[in-house]
Each structure stands twice: as C-alpha cells, then as structure tokens.
Amino acid sequence: MKPFPYAHVLVPAVFCAFAAATVAGAVIAAGSRRVIRGVCGLAMCCVGLAGLFYFLQSPFLALMEILIYVGAICVTIIFVVMLAEPEEAASSRARSRAWTGAALAVSVAAFAGLSWLGTSLPAPRSLAAGGDGSVKAIGVSLLTTYSMAFELISVLLLVAIIGALVLTRSGRDRP
Amino acid sequence: MNDPRICDRPEVYLLLAAFVFAAGLYGLLRRRTLIGMLIAGELIFSAAALNVMTFNRFYAPKPAEGQVFVLFLMGLAAAEVCIALSIVIAVYRNYRSIQPQDIDELKG
C-alpha cells in the first residue's frame, strides 16, 4: 500500500499543532485576567489534548475529551459565568504582585521537577504490545473487569445530579 | 536519538503534561475568583489524564486499561464540575459575589 504523500512531514506538523494548542490553551486558561477568556483557553487546551490522545492511539478518548470537556464542562462554566458575573477585583496591587511571583515560583519548580522525572525515564521496551485499544476492547473490559467501577461511577453521577439540584434549589424564593 | 519520530517519544507527552499541570497550579494559586480556580483544577485533571495515557501507551502491556481509567477520570471531573458550579451559584445567591475573600463568615 502506498503511504499518504508527505506523511513524514504532515504527521509531525499536525502533532506540533496539537501540542502548541495545548500549551497556548493552558497559558491562556491560567494567565488571563477575565474569566471568559480562561474558559476559552480551557476549551482550546482540551482540543489540543484530544489530538494528543489521538496520537496516543486512543481515538475513542479523543472523541470523549471533546464531547465531555468542550461540549459539557466548558459550556456549563460559560453558563455560570453569565449567571454570576465574576469580575476580578482590582484591589491590593502590591500584595497581588508578590503573590503572583510566589505562584510563578511554585509552578516553575513543579514543572522543573516533573520534567526532570519525565526525561530521566528508561526508553520504552516495545511499542506494539499485545491487545488492541479498540472500542470493542474498551467495552468488553468496562462490562467484565471493571463492571463494579462502572456501576459506582454511574451512581456517583446520579448523586452529583441530585446534589446539584438540591444545592441550587435552596434560596430560590428569595429575591 | 532522533530515530523515533516526535510523536512516538514518551518524553514529549510527559513534558506537555508537566507544563499543563504547572499552568494549572499557577492558575489555582493566582486566580481570585472561584470559577477561575475551578478552571485551573480542570487543567490539573487533564494533565493527570494525559500522564496516565502516556504511561499506558509506552510502558504498560494492555492498551484498553488506561483508556478505561481515563474515562473514569473524565466522569469524576464532570461530577466535580457539576457540584462545584452549583456551590458557586448558591454562594452567589447568598453573598452577591464569588470572590473568595468575601466569603469569610466561618473565619474565626
């Protein structure tokens, strides 16, 4: 079978585009001053992560990432932003600058430590090990090996729905 | 060193996951609104999911297990966001503000 033309250039280019989307989305989500831009950064970061999941040979997870994170979580956060108008207070500038420096130092230290750990790993032995990561294999293991966890997480989601209803219902008749 | 392509090397994914985690940590410490802190928490969740998938792809023998794990992680994140956002709405109803420094009634 003939490979796709320019595949040896196109595949790394697409990978780098997804990696750049992840990094830029994370920076926007963490550093922007307005909350709505942070939500958009989170959506961009999740699209990039979906591409990375595709490159990790799990296209089902890529679809689920877009469906759950971009389609459900970001939209829900945008609804709450519209309901609750969260503006950042422009007070206590001096203390805020020191606090930002401390936060930057902590996160840079965490990044340095984690990247040192990640780059000092041994090389992977074999890429194509046994079994396939297809949707059929996922479904079989969800319904056989992990059926208990599957049921537990459905109960957890039910509890979360009921809890959200109860929490937002109280105090509704107040002006 | 350059023999495997860039998308077949685990260090690249691990570095990306570390960067997303660090960005989430920075946002969690710096943000002044509850929703901003929630967004940063979601970044940390995503970094954990990417890390799990990387180790599953390159170092674990069974590909389906890591995907199941990440699916459970996404379900947990969805439940957490649902509860946290309803708490944010309840707080906004009571205080007319969601700045964390305004919510200090339990302070001793």
For residue range B21-70, list pLDDT tens digits in order: 999 999 998 887 888 889 999 999 999 999 999 988 888 777 788 889 99
Residue B2 to chain A, least CA–CA distance (Å): 13
Confidence class of residue A105 from pLDDT cuts 50, 70 and 90? very high
Contact B46, A49 (CB under 8 A): yes
A98 touches B: beta carbon within 8 Å: no
Are B30 and A103 inside 8 Å of each other by CB?
A: yes
Nearest to A142 by CA among B67, B74, B52: B67
pLDDT at B1 over 50: no
Q: What is the pTM of this model?
A: 0.88
Size of interface A-B (CB pairs under 8 A): 253
CA-to-CA dists, residue A28 to B39, B42, B99, angstroms: 11, 13, 20
CATH of the domain spanning A7-84+133-175: 1.20.120.1200
8 Å CB contact of B67 and A61? yes
Which residue carries 């729905």 as its tokens? Answer: A161
Give chain A's length: 175
Residue in A with minimal Cα distance to B21: A111
**Count of Cβ atoms closer than 10 Å to residue B80 Cβ:** 17
Mean pLDDT of A16-38: 92
Identify from A87, A115, A116 which residue to disrupt to test chain B contact, counting B C-beta atoms within 10 A and taking the largest count.
A115
Query: What Å distances lie between residue A66 and A72, A148, B25, CA to CA?
Result: 9, 26, 23
Domain ranges within chain A, ordered by starting residue: 7-84+133-175
